[in-house]
Structure 1
């Protein structure tokens, strides 16, 4: 599975950012729209359009298998979940537990500070992945040390996922355009509440993805979005 993900990532890096040459969105609209572009780019979607234009079979796999969205009710429930800032809720406790550098003490800390069973399970999983991947995060320049990790946070990941799924739900016909823009604005506000540049957004997204999946393998995609002329990030102010 990791090999498949790696191959797909490499293919997207070689194909480069995809944009709609006929997009009529203004720069102000694009600044809001493109908060989720790391997720969009990874899936081969258009970076500058309300429509993702992802291959149908892949789009259905994302909606059904990854997110469990088969209906409008599923879409609304998922969007309400993402609006909570799902990883940011537990991030401080995960950082505090990691800082103990002792697995037993860290586990005890999480049990003491997170009473909700679902949140505790989520935090424990994130801590496990952070323990496994911290050196990789430093190697890839996503963080420099524990202080910078804590300062960076995972709001970019939370905002990016909300942005992408809102666009996907719009493409599937589950929400109207006005609702989409409201959700995109919420994601934009989430990102701008803690982050100060496209680079920080990319790093925060990659940190969150690493805590979620136990690997990142997105540094090349982030570099593309930050440097390639086709990417809206290279010409839009943060």
Structure 2
């Protein structure tokens, strides 16, 4: 299914599991992946996604190179740890002080040319993406963006991918719950509200290179405001 078709389908209706719904904290854990779930037209409120095994298999193999339990755990651990990279904070500090960005990067990053170049590329990506998402009204100011970064994108993907891996028997139910909780706890360190989460997800996707940013913003607004959305009655994570 093309991205534009997924956007249309996501707008048409939220998919809710009426036979195995989750409530309370378990629902909050699942909702960390609600943006990704909406993109895939999956259930928003249950461990199971409502997608066919073929759809899940294609998603995991084609986009994530996940073929086994070992692959699943490696990818999930990577996503959950990405926002704990202390050098990323140096890059954002440099972006906020452009006149001194070289000095900030050199003093804050390891004395290794390959590592320096790696984070310099990230800095340049920020320069391309941040003006766009700021113009789209995703963030009130740069300090708000600097605080939450792309946490919603990383933890949100981990949450939904964990559900998919569970349905492929790559994770036990207990392991699924552990990854969901880890994603939720990680997200809370950066985002205080569900609106911050959706903005962070859209920003992270744009930083990664995703297109159709306007469509993603529309999905976010629908999740936050549609009366049938599990996020409608929630403000704080």
Q: 2:226 aligns with which of 225, 228, 232?
A: 228
Q: What root-mean-square deviation, in Å, do the aligned CA atoms of Structure 1 and Structure 2 show?
A: 2.6
Shift of 1:214: 5.7
Partner of residue 60, structure 1: 57
Scaled by the length of structure 2, the TM-score of the pair is: 0.84
2:109 is equivalent to residue 114 of structure 1: yes
Q: 1:132 aligns with which of 120, 128, 132?
A: 128
Quickly say closer, same or farther: Cα 1:20–1:146, change in 2 above 3 A: same
Q: 1:193 aligns with which of 189, 203, 207?
A: 189
User: How many Å separate the matches in 2 of 1:100 and 1:39?
Assistant: 33
User: How many Å separate the matches in 1 of 2:126 and 2:32?
Assistant: 24
Partner of residue 38, structure 2: 41
In the TM superposition, what whole-angstrom CA distance separates every residue of 1:65-110 from its partner, at most 9, and x where no partner exists?
A: 21110111111211222231x14524312212323436xx646754
User: How many Å separate the matches in 2 of 1:58 and 1:30?
Assistant: 23
User: How many Å separate the matches in 1 of 2:106 and 2:5?
Assistant: 38
Residue-pair matches, total: 231
2:153 is equivalent to residue 157 of structure 1: yes
- Assess if the C-alpha contact under 8 Å between 1:137 and 1:143 holds in 2: yes
Partner of residue 173, structure 1: 169
Scaled by the length of structure 1, the TM-score of the pair is: 0.84
List runs of 5+ in structure 1 lacking aligned partners: none
SS of 2:22's partner is coil
Shift of 1:237: 5.6
- Assess if the C-alpha contact under 8 Å between 1:88 and 1:158 holds in 2: no
Partner of residue 93, structure 1: 90
- Assess if the C-alpha contact under 8 Å between 2:11 and 2:219 holds in 1: no
Q: Which moved more, 1:114-123 or 1:127-136?
A: 114-123
In the TM superposition, what whole-angstrom CA distance separates every residue of 1:29-50 from its partner, at most 9, and x where no partner exists?
A: 2112111100111111110111
List runs of 5+ in structure 2 lacking aligned partners: none
Partner of residue 7, structure 2: 10
User: How many Å separate the matches in 2 of 1:132 and 1:214?
Assistant: 13
